[in-house]
Amino acid sequence: MKPREGKKPRAGRARRRLVVRQVECKTVLNRSSIGQYTMNCYTGCQHSCIYCYARFMQRFHPHPEPWGEFVDVKVNAPEALGRQLKRAKPGSVFVSSACDAWQPLERKWELTRECCRMLIEHGFRVNALTKNTLVLRDLDIFRPGLTQVGVTITTLDPRLAKLWEPAASSVEERCHVLQTARDAGLETAIMFGPLLPALSDGQDSLNALFERAAELDVDLIWVDAMNPRPRVWPSVGPFLRREFPELHDRYSRLLHDGETREAYVKELGDRVRKAARQHHLEGRLAGCP
Ligand code: SF4
C-alpha cells in the first residue's frame, strides 16, 4: 500500500490523537479460514479496545503510532474490489477481520458501505461484526439471506465496556443494532468475547449475557475466551496494573501458563453451556470455548 496523504486530528470520545493516512491497495477481499473471505477497507481501528487481537496487523504494516492511534484508509477499496469481483466466486465475507469496518471514519469515507453494496450485488453474503451503531446506516443496502448483522459484547457493565473498549458504541446501542436489524428481517449474531476473566466470565454474568441474547432473539452466538495473541499482553498487562492491579497476575497466568489456561477454558466452556441451556439457546451456540 502506498501512502497518499498526511495527518488529521481525531474527533472522538476517547480523545486520543489519531493519525489518518490515505493509502492505495491492490486487493481488499482475502481468502480466509474465518469465513470464505474477509474484507478490510481500513488498517487500524479507532475503537482502541485494550484486548484487540488485530494489533498483530502492526507486524505486517508497521506504524510509529500505537494501536488505536492510526488508521490507514484504503481509498481505492471499491476499485480494487471491482477488479477482484470479476474473478472471485461468490461466498461469505467476514466484515471485518482486522478492523471495525464501521469505525467512525467510515461515516465520511463510506468505503465499507460501497464495498458491501458491491458484494451483495454480486451474490456474496456479508457477515458484519461491529461495535458501532454506524452499521445501521447501511440497512438500505443489506439484503435478507445475504446479510448477517452481528455485534461484539464483552460485558453488560457500561463502566467496564467504556474502560476496555473506550471508543466503541455503548452496549445498549449495540443491542439496539441487533433489534433494528432483526426488525428489518436480517439474520443477527452476537460475539460474546473475549470474555473478561473475573469481570464478565462468571456464571451470573454469563446468565445475564444469554438472557439478553434470548430477549434479542439472535440467530447465532459465539463465545470466546481471552487469547494470548501477539501484542495483546503488552496492552492488557499495563492496563490491568493501572485499573485492576489485583487481577494482573491472574490474567498473566491465564494467558501464559498452558495448564492454567487449559483448565480455565474448560471451566468457562462448562459455564457457557449451562447459561445457554438455561435460556434454551444451545441450538444457537455456534462457537464455545
Ligand atoms: S473494534 Fe475490533 S478491531 Fe477495533 S479495536 Fe476493538 S477489537 Fe480491535
Are the C-beta atoms of residues 45 and 18 closer than 8 Å to each other?
Answer: no
47 lines ligand 1 (CB under 6 A): yes
55 lines ligand 1 (CB under 6 A): no
C-alpha cell at 246: 489485583
Question: What is the percent of the chain where pLDDT is above 70?
Answer: 94
Pick the residue whose CA is nearest to atom 2 on ligand 1.
100
Which pLDDT score is estimated for 229? Answer: 81
Task: Show Cβ contacts of residue 73 under 8 Å, excluding neighbours closer than 6 positions.
Answer: 20, 21, 22, 23, 41, 42, 105, 109, 111
28 lines ligand 1 (CB under 6 A): no
Cis peptide, bond prior to residue 194, ω within 30 of zero = yes
User: N- to C-terminal Cα distance for the chain?
Assistant: 36
Residue-number span of the structural domain to which 135 is assigned: 2-287
Are the C-beta atoms of residues 78 and 115 closer than 8 Å to each other?
Answer: yes
- The count of domains in the chain is 1
How many whole angstroms from 88 Cα to the centroid of ligand 1? 27
Are the C-beta atoms of residues 167 and 12 closer than 8 Å to each other?
Answer: yes
How many whole angstroms from 99 Cα to the centroid of ligand 1? 6
C-alpha cell at 279: 435460556
114 lines ligand 1 (CB under 6 A): no
Pick the residue whose CA is nearest to atom 3 on ligand 1.
99
Q: Which of 18, 38, 49 to mutate to test the pocket of ligand 1 (most atoms within 8 A of CB)?
A: 49
CA distances from 50 to 24, 60, 235 (A): 28, 20, 6
Are the C-beta atoms of residues 75 and 195 closer than 8 Å to each other?
Answer: no
Count of CB atoms situated within 10 Å of the CB of 9: 9
Which pLDDT score is estimated for 277? Answer: 98
How many whole angstroms from 138 Cα to the centroid of ligand 1? 20
Query: Exposure string (b/e) for 64-85, b if CB count within 10 Å is 16 or more?
Result: eeebbbbbbbbbbbbebbeebb
How many whole angstroms from 152 Cα to the centroid of ligand 1? 9
Q: What is the helix (H) or strand (E) element at residue 245, kind and residue range?
A: none
pTM of the model: 0.93
Which pLDDT score is estimated for 96? Answer: 96
Which residue in the block uniquely carries the three cell numbers 461484526?
129
What number of CA atoms fall less than 13 Å from residue 252's CA on the CB side? 12
Q: What is the 3-state secondary structure (H, E, C) of 24-41?
A: ECCCCEEECCCCCEEECC
45 lines ligand 1 (CB under 6 A): yes
49 lines ligand 1 (CB under 6 A): yes
CATH at residue 235: 3.20.20.70
Chain-centre distance of CA 180, in angstroms?
A: 19
Give the separation between CA 267 and CA 278, rounded to whole angstroms: 17
- β-partners of residue 126 are 93, 147
99 lines ligand 1 (CB under 6 A): yes
Q: Which of 100, 103, 162 to mutate to test the pocket of ligand 1 (most atoms within 8 A of CB)?
A: 100
Which pLDDT score is estimated for 35? Answer: 67
| 263, 50, 153, 35 alpha-carbon torsion, rounded to 10° | -80
Closest atom of ligand 1 relative to the 45 alpha carbon? 4
C-alpha cell at 125: 453474503
* pLDDT tens for the 289 residues of the chain, in order: 443 433 333 333 445 799 999 999 999 999 997 669 999 999 999 999 999 999 877 777 789 999 999 999 999 999 999 999 999 999 999 999 999 999 999 999 999 999 999 999 999 999 999 999 999 999 999 999 999 999 999 999 999 999 999 999 999 999 999 999 999 999 999 999 999 999 999 999 999 999 999 999 999 999 999 988 878 999 999 999 999 999 999 999 999 999 999 999 999 999 999 999 999 999 999 999 9
